[in-house]
């Protein structure tokens, strides 16, 4: 199987887990966002161009899963992939704590961009209660699953990079 095929299988596995299994154990409808975690990890490992592409593709998958406005998650994940990819050459690839803690900041950033877009589209909500009900459980989920997703992404990248050099 090619490197692209292995990466695609990994993305699909995370997507299936996010959309089928984890909604069963969601807290008030909030579950971990594996696609965002994958985008952050992949962008830190591969750089701006590949991180942006991964962000767009994972965001598009999220748009297909949620059934909301097509392109809204693709846009926000694209921005996240681009921003995280810019730090790829300033980060040690072996260090796991930066992507874990960066996922918290990225999750909050993604949440506020989505909230801003919803307000611009004319939806009204109470920002204080929405942060308590939505953002805080999401941050806890992201903190819990950031390390496993980054570790798996790093191991897959290391394996695929070693295969390319041989």
Which residue in the block uniquely carries the two structure tokens 């059934």?
A: 67
Q: What residues does each domain of the chain span?
A: 31-150
User: In the prediction, which pLDDT does 55 show?
Assistant: 95
User: In the prediction, which pLDDT does 96 show?
Assistant: 73
* Distance (Å, whole) CA 150 – CA 34: 10
User: In the prediction, which pLDDT does 166 show?
Assistant: 63
Q: Is 69 helix (H, G, I), strand (E, B) or coil?
A: coil
Task: Find out whether 76 and 113 touch, Cβ atoms under 8 Å.
Answer: yes
Return the HEC string of 126-151.
CHHHHHHHHHHHHHHHHHHHHHHHHH
Q: What b/e readout covers 90-126, taking b as 16+ CB neighbours within 10 angstroms?
A: eeeeeeeeebbebbeebbebbbeebbeebeeeeeeee
Global confidence as pTM: 0.91
| Averages of pLDDT over each 10 residues, the chain, 166 residues | 88 93 87 94 92 95 86 94 88 74 92 90 83 90 93 91 74
């Amino acid at each position: 199987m090619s490197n692209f095929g292995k990466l695609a299988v990994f993305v699909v596995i995370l997507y299936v887990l996010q959309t089928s299994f984890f909604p069963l154990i969601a807290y008030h409808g909030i579950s971990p966002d594996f696609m965002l975690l994958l985008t952050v990890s992949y962008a830190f490992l591969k750089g701006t161009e590949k991180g942006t592409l991964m962000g767009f593709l994972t965001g598009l998958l999220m748009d297909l899963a949620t059934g909301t406005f097509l392109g809204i998650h693709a846009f926000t994940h694209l921005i996240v992939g681009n921003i995280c990819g810019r730090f790829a050459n300033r980060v040690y690839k072996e260090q796991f704590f930066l992507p874990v803690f960066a996922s918290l900041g990225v999750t909050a950033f993604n949440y506020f961009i989505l909230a801003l877009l919803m307000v611009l589209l004319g939806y009204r909500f109470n920002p204080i209660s929405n942060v308590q009900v939505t953002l805080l459980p999401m941050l806890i989920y992201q903190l819990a699953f950031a390390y496993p997703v980054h570790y798996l992404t790093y191991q897959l990248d290391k394996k695929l990079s070693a295969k390319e050099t041989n």
